[in-house]
Amino acid sequence: MKTQVCIIGAGPAGLLLGHLLRAEGIDCVVLERQTGDYVLSRIRAGVLETITVELMERLGLDARLKAEGLPHDGFNLADGERLIRIDMQELTGGHVVVYGQTEITRDLMDACPERGLDVIYEAAEVALHEVEGEAPYVTYRKDGREQRIDCRFIAGCDGFHGPGRKAIPAGVGKEYERVYPFGWLGILADVPPCNHELIYANHARGFALASMRSQTRSRYYVDVPLTERLEDWSDERVWDELALRLGPDAAAHITRGPSLEKSIAPLRSYVFAPMRHGSLILCGDSAHIVPPTGAKGLNLAASDVHYAAQALAAYFRRSDNDAIAAYSDKALARVWKSERFSWSLTKLMHRFPEDGPFERAMQVAELDYIASSRAAQTTIAENYIGLPV
Ligand code: APR
Ligand code: PHB
């Protein structure tokens, strides 16, 4: 098979890139290791920045997002009994939309047949070849047969563990990494949210987040040491912990219910640079990971594919190589700012095991400053709604 761009991975990054390229009349094929059902079974964060909403609008795939997404003008930082509201609308004129990121994947997946986006699921042993030249190709195994796709570019949208980034020869790239000493234990339940906006809480017992998917479905998190085992966390124990950490006001409004899903996810900050090598372009989690504090994962994938689609369109329309050459620097400039914000919000809202009284005093001072300064609140608000692309 021959195509212009072979995309590896049918997560949000790969599907969004595929649709953007199809909208430009560029031929592409998406190769995914898993089944579509498996991809949709992954529970992800639920906050969309303006760029993500705009891309769905541009593609004309925003009908469900518009109907079911909840625009949020503000969110809250809790510190014990104090609640600091960040009024994004008033401070920046912007807002975020609360809509499950898994639902974005579903909307993109459902639109594939009508938009002529070819996705090959259950593609095993995907391997990238000749990425340094102008005629790369990808091999994979499907239904027991070896297959080959020749293309002009390969887009590695295959997440943190995929083969894309690993096809870049050792010594070419640089890795930047910070692993955190805790994970987030998440619970999803069909109960109304305890508050109409999100609450990120820093409590002596640890971090907690009250989030939602709709008026009837809630998503909550508490941070736990990495040594913690899920089976030691009954639903009741999670609800008890949330009630303690989120503060008395929220606790009074928590509705408990059985968990639909419960899992522990480790936290990591990671960047691989450059995000392009020869004919291979990396987008999304294949090039970077953020801790979930701030919900930047999918939104960063969206800005990457926006830049990648622009660069690929310039190449196929005008043989413009400069846009391809500029992709990595352009994407990384925004990636680093999101990494900084996710890291700083994580530092501000979690109790690190190595922290002593001094570090805690710094958190209190920073929260006091945020509570009293419009400038500080604006900084947080403009990062939360998403920096310009
Ligand atoms: N061959 C083919 N596909 C692969 C391979 C492989 N060897 N390895 C991984 N993949 C697929 C995965 O199965 C997955 O469907 O690549 C896809 C990568 O998707 P994600 O991990 O969701 O990464 P990305 O699309 O970059 O997502 C960006 O969205 O919802 C958020 O938290 C999520 O931060 C993430 C962001
Ligand atoms: C979620 O709703 O799952 C969520 C919201 C905000 C975050 C992370 C996760 O920062």
Per-residue pLDDT, 44: 82
Per-residue pLDDT, 15: 98
Q: Confirm if 102 and 68 have CB atoms less than 8 A apart.
A: no
In this structure, is residue 57 part of a structural domain? no
Pocket-testing residue among 20, 33, 213, ligand 1, by greatest number of atoms within 8 A of Cβ: 33
**9 Cα: distance to centroid of ligand 2 (angstroms):** 23
Distance from C-alpha of 37 to C-alpha of 106, rounded to nearest angstrom: 10
Which two three-digit tokens encode residue 318? Answer: 């005008």
Per-residue pLDDT, 46: 87
Residues with Cβ within 8 Å of 173's Cβ and at least 6 positions away in sequence, in order, are 165, 272, 273, 274, 277
Atom 1, ligand 2: residue with shortest CA distance: 45
Segments forming the whole domain that contains residue 209: 181-260+348-366
Starting from the CA of residue 209, give the closest ligand.
2
Q: Confirm if 75 and 92 have CB atoms less than 8 A apart.
A: no
Starting from the CA of residue 294, give the closest ligand.
2
In this structure, is residue 129 part of a structural domain? yes
Distance from C-alpha of 47 to C-alpha of 299, rounded to nearest angstrom: 8
Instruction: Determine if ligand 1 sits within 6 Å of the CB of residue 159.
Output: yes
Q: Confirm if 341 and 294 have CB atoms less than 8 A apart.
A: yes
How does pLDDT run across 176-196, given as a tens digit for each residue? 999 999 999 999 999 999 999
Examine the domain organization and report whether 123 and 252 are in the same domain.
Answer: no
Examine the domain organization and report whether 235 and 358 are in the same domain.
Answer: yes
Which two three-digit tokens encode residue 90? Answer: 């008033």
Residues annotated catalytic, as ranges: 72, 200, 292, 296, 384
In what helix (H) or strand (E) does residue 238 lie, and over which residues does it extend?
helix 235-245
Question: Where residue 161 sits, what CATH number does that domain have?
Answer: 3.50.50.60
**350 Cα: distance to centroid of ligand 2 (angstroms):** 15
Examine the domain organization and report whether 203 and 124 are in the same domain.
Answer: no
- The burial class, CB within 10 Å (0-12 / 13-18 / 19+), for 325 is exposed
* Cis bond before residue 274 (omega within 30° of 0): yes
Cα–chain-centroid distance for residue 388?
A: 17
Distance from C-alpha of 293 to C-alpha of 209, rounded to nearest angstrom: 9
Examine the domain organization and report whether 162 and 220 are in the same domain.
Answer: no
Atom 2, ligand 2: residue with shortest CA distance: 46
Pocket-testing residue among 267, 285, 286, 289, ligand 1, by greatest number of atoms within 8 A of Cβ: 285
In this structure, is residue 76 part of a structural domain? no
Q: Which residues of the chain have pLDDT under 50?
A: none
Q: Which of 274, 6, 299, 306 is nearest to 156 (CA)?
A: 6
Sheet (strand 137-142) strand order: 124-129, 137-142, 145-150
Instruction: Determine if ligand 1 sits within 6 Å of the CB of residue 158.
Output: yes
CB count, 10 Å around CB of 389?
17
Examine the domain organization and report whether 320 and 203 are in the same domain.
Answer: no
Q: What share of the chain is helix, strand, coil (3-state, %, to 5)?
A: 40, 30, 30
Examine the domain organization and report whether 159 and 148 are in the same domain.
Answer: yes
Question: Where residue 186 sits, what CATH number does that domain have?
Answer: 3.30.9.10
In this structure, is residue 251 part of a structural domain? yes
Per-residue pLDDT, 81: 86
Tally the domains of the chain. 2
**353 Cα: distance to centroid of ligand 1 (angstroms):** 31
Examine the domain organization and report whether 171 and 273 are in the same domain.
Answer: yes
Examine the domain organization and report whether 227 and 355 are in the same domain.
Answer: yes
Per-residue pLDDT, 161: 97
Pocket-testing residue among 211, 218, 298, ligand 2, by greatest number of atoms within 8 A of Cβ: 211
In this structure, is residue 152 part of a structural domain? yes
In this structure, is residue 94 part of a structural domain? no
Per-residue pLDDT, 42: 86
In this structure, is residue 386 part of a structural domain? no
**21 Cα: distance to centroid of ligand 1 (angstroms):** 18
Examine the domain organization and report whether 17 and 116 are in the same domain.
Answer: yes
Examine the domain organization and report whether 156 and 212 are in the same domain.
Answer: no
- pTM confidence score: 0.97
Per-residue pLDDT, 196: 97
